[in-house]
């Protein structure tokens, strides 16, 4: 460990008991702590970047006296971000045996994997088991889990051996298996142990996780060079792949005000601490057509950790959320702590999301500012909206191209249109020229042809490992044509019409 990077105590709950680990550096991952400090080696390191799911564990927090469970990738999750939470690993599920040489009783999610032959080489199995455990806990004992739901919830776990069918079988079967004594979660004891872990006061510690917005902004003002995290799904990669070290980390996810989605007459406001799972749920609630796209944003463990605010502030040109939010007309609220004669106050400014970026992963934010809210206009009944993601893998993959379009027609003429594009420029971008080519024009095949040419000419994408520049330009135009066809009632051309059951039926 770099001696310049000071460490602090990490506290969480395991098996209903508080665990306190000293000397944990601010940039140490949860996987490292589990495997190296606690010798919980069932949790595996596969890819080290949140893709394969071998490192999956389940976190739980008490909400209104009950536990809420979420599967996450421990390989890219900074350890101190789980301070004050309950952590479950594959070692925590089976009941301990009192007889020498006897096998322990298995949890239903483990027993189902055995009965359905869901494991071969076994390296990925603990991760799958933990994702199944998260499903089991959130569905009241595995009840009512469909094959389609299992396919979505297991999208962040990869297996090279089984072909997935027996694992999906296990997801459906575990709800019918008995829960042996000693295998269940003692929720009362866990909730009590969580309550006993008092929130940190932070002070001069090097992993800062303030619990209020004011304290968060004050910490940002005092430490403008601290590395900001809001879920760690990208910063975690800087640690595992680039071997970066951080002397001080500022975590936004504990600020209570930013953990909410607020609904107003004309917009919803999504706090920067709201994870992607909950943020997309809020968007899908108002726009059901976004459901499939929301499930293709990485895998479930990444969506459970990552935040919409972090995705937007990160500003990756291949981030999937930004093209969608640009098309929806979203804006961002930036906040900072402003010193005054009376002590200080919160200062804020609001700007359109597409105006946030100045270049590749650069933006207009001051050193003491944080992105705190994303405001999304509520839908108009007359608007037609679609978002398309093109990637090599359907699930758990990064886009080569992402295109989002929202359009309002009046008497067959394009009255309003907004288009967001990703993967085709140094920043997530709005297609202003294409919008101009469409606005005020009759919505017909000739207009679409002209707009297709405008869209392909508007961006000069690069060639990289995901796609060539020519491919990206071609796909941009093709997606606009798909939008036109879907607006005319054609739905079978979209992969949303396929389900796991229909694919297996034709196999």
- Between CA 423 and CA 428, with CA 425 as vertex, the angle to 5 degrees is 70
pLDDT for residue 98: 53
pLDDT for residue 162: 83
Instruction: Provide φ and ψ at 353, rounded to 5°.
Output: -60, -40
Find how far residue 54's CA is from the centre of its chain. 17
Three-state SS at 456 = helix
The dihedral region occupied by 401, where left means phi > 0, alpha psi between -120 and 50, and beta the remainder, is beta
Q: Which residue range forms the structural domain that includes residue 464?
A: 383-507
pLDDT for residue 3: 42
Q: Which of 179, 198, 217 finishes a domain?
A: 198
Q: Which residues contact 87 (CB under 8 A, 6 or more apart)?
A: 12, 13, 14, 30, 34, 57, 58, 59, 60
- Residue 20 and residue 166 in one domain: yes
Tokens of 99: 């007889």
For residues 127 and 52, the answer to whether their CB atoms sit within 8 Å is yes
Counting the structural domains of the chain, the total is 3
Q: What is the dihedral of CA 269, 316, 128, 79, to 10 degrees?
A: -80
How would you write 247-262 as a 3-class SS string?
A: CCEEECCCCHHHHCEE
- Residue 367 and residue 392 in one domain: no
Q: Which residues contact 446 (CB under 8 A, 6 or more apart)?
A: none
Q: Are strands 267-271 and 8-14 parallel, antiparallel or unpaired?
A: unpaired
Residue among 305, 293, 289, 188 at smallest CA distance from 251: 305
CATH of the domain at 469: 3.30.390.50
- Residue 176 and residue 231 in one domain: no
- Per-10-residue mean pLDDT of the chain, 507 residues long, equals 69 94 94 96 94 96 93 96 96 74 83 95 95 95 92 93 92 95 90 88 82 96 95 92 94 96 97 97 95 92 96 92 97 96 94 96 96 96 92 87 96 96 95 97 97 96 93 96 93 68 57
CATH of the domain at 367: 3.30.465.10
pLDDT for residue 260: 97
- Number of C-alpha atoms within 13 angstroms, CB side, residue 5? 16
Which class for 234: exposed (0-12), middle (13-18), buried (19 or more C-beta within 10 A)? buried
- Residue 441 and residue 352 in one domain: no
From CA 78, how far away is CA 311, in angstroms rounded? 17
Dihedral of CA 461/462/465/471: which sign? Answer: positive
CATH of the domain at 152: 3.10.20.30
- Residue 359 and residue 460 in one domain: no
For residues 234 and 310, the answer to whether their CB atoms sit within 8 Å is yes
Q: Which residues pair with 334 in a beta bridge?
A: 349, 371
From CA 306, how far away is CA 276, in angstroms rounded? 6
- Residue 176 and residue 209 in one domain: no
- Residue 399 and residue 416 in one domain: yes
- Residue 392 and residue 367 in one domain: no
Sheet holding 413-422, edge to edge: 383-390, 401-410, 413-422, 429-430
How would you write 73-131 as a 3-class SS string?
A: ECCCCEHHHHCCCEEECHHHCCECCCCCCCCCECCHHHHHHHHCCCCCCCCCHHHHHHH
Three-state SS at 496 = helix
From CA 44, how far away is CA 123, in angstroms rounded? 7
Dihedral of CA 394/72/260/237: which sign? Answer: negative
pLDDT for residue 101: 60
Q: Write down the residue that tokens 């400014």 correspond to.
A: 349
Give the H or E element holding residue 10: strand 8-14
pLDDT for residue 499: 59
Listing DSSP states for 359-389 in one string gives: ETTEES--TT-EEEEEEEEPPPTTEEEEEEE
For residues 483 and 405, the answer to whether their CB atoms sit within 8 Å is yes
Q: Which of 198, 228, 245 finishes a domain?
A: 198
- Residue 192 and residue 203 in one domain: no
- Residue 222 and residue 237 in one domain: yes
Q: Which of 175, 198, 221 finishes a domain?
A: 198
pLDDT for residue 95: 79
- Residue 417 and residue 437 in one domain: yes
- pTM (global) more than 0.85: yes
Q: Are strands 345-352 and 8-14 parallel, antiparallel or unpaired?
A: unpaired
- Residue 337 and residue 474 in one domain: no
């Amino acid at each position: 460990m770099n001696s310049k990077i000071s460490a602090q105590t990490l506290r969480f709950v395991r098996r209903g008991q508080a665990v306190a680990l000293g000397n944990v550096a601010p940039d140490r991952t949860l996987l490292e702590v589990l495997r190296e400090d606690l010798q919980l080696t069932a949790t595996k390191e596969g890819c080290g970047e949140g893709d394969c799911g071998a490192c999956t564990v389940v976190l739980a927090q008490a909400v209104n006296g009950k536990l809420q469970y979420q599967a996450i990738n421990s390989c890219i999750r900074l350890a101190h971000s789980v301070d004050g939470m309950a952590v479950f690993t594959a070692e925590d599920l089976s009941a301990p045996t009192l007889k020498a040489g006897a096998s322990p009783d298995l949890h239903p999610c483990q027993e189902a994997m055995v009965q359905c032959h869901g494991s071969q080489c076994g390296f990925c199995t603990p991760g799958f088991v933990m994702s199944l455990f998260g499903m089991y806990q959130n569905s009241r004992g595995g009840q009512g889990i469909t094959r389609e739901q299992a396919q979505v919830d297991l999208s962040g776990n990869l297996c090279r051996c089984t072909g997935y069918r027996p694992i999906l079988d296990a997801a459906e079967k575990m709800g019918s298996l008995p829960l042996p004594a000693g295998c269940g979660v003692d929720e009362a004891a866990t909730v009590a142990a969580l309550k006993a872990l008092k929130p940190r006061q932070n002070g001069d510690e090097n992993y800062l996780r303030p619990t209020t917005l004011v304290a968060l902004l004050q910490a940002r003002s005092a430490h403008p060079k601290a590395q900001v995290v809001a879920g760690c799904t990208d910063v975690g990669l800087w640690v595992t792949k680039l071997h970066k070290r951080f002397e001080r980390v500022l975590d936004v996810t504990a600020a209570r005000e930013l953990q909410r989605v607020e609904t107003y007459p004309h917009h919803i406001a999504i706090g920067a601490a709201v994870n992607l799972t909950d943020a997309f749920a809020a968007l899908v609630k108002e726009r059901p057509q976004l459901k499939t796209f929301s499930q293709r944003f990485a895998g479930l463990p990444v969506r459970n950790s990552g935040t919409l605010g972090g995705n937007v502030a990160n500003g990756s040109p291949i981030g999937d959320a930004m093209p969608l939010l640009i098309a929806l007309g979203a804006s961002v609220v930036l906040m900072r702590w402003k010193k005054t004669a009376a002590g200080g106050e919160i200062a804020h400014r609001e700007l359109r999301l597409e105006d946030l970026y100045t270049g590749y992963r650069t933006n207009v934010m001051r050193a003491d500012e944080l992105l705190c809210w994303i405001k999304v206009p509520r839908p108009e009944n007359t608007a037609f909206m679609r978002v398309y993601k093109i990637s090599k893998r359907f699930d758990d993959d990064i886009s080569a191209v992402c295109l989002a379009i929202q359009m309002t027609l009046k008497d067959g003429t394009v009255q309003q249109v907004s288009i967001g594009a990703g993967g085709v420029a140094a920043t997530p971008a709005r297609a202003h020229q294409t919008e101009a080519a469409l606005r005020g024009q009759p919505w017909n095949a000739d207009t679409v042809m002209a707009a297709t040419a405008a869209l392909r000419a508007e961006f000069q994408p690069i060639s990289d490992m995901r796609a060539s520049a020519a491919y990206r330009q071609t796909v941009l135009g093709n997606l606009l044509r798909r939008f036109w066809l879907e607006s005319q009632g054609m739905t079978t051309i979209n992969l949303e019409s396929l389900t796991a059951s229909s694919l297996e039926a034709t196999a």
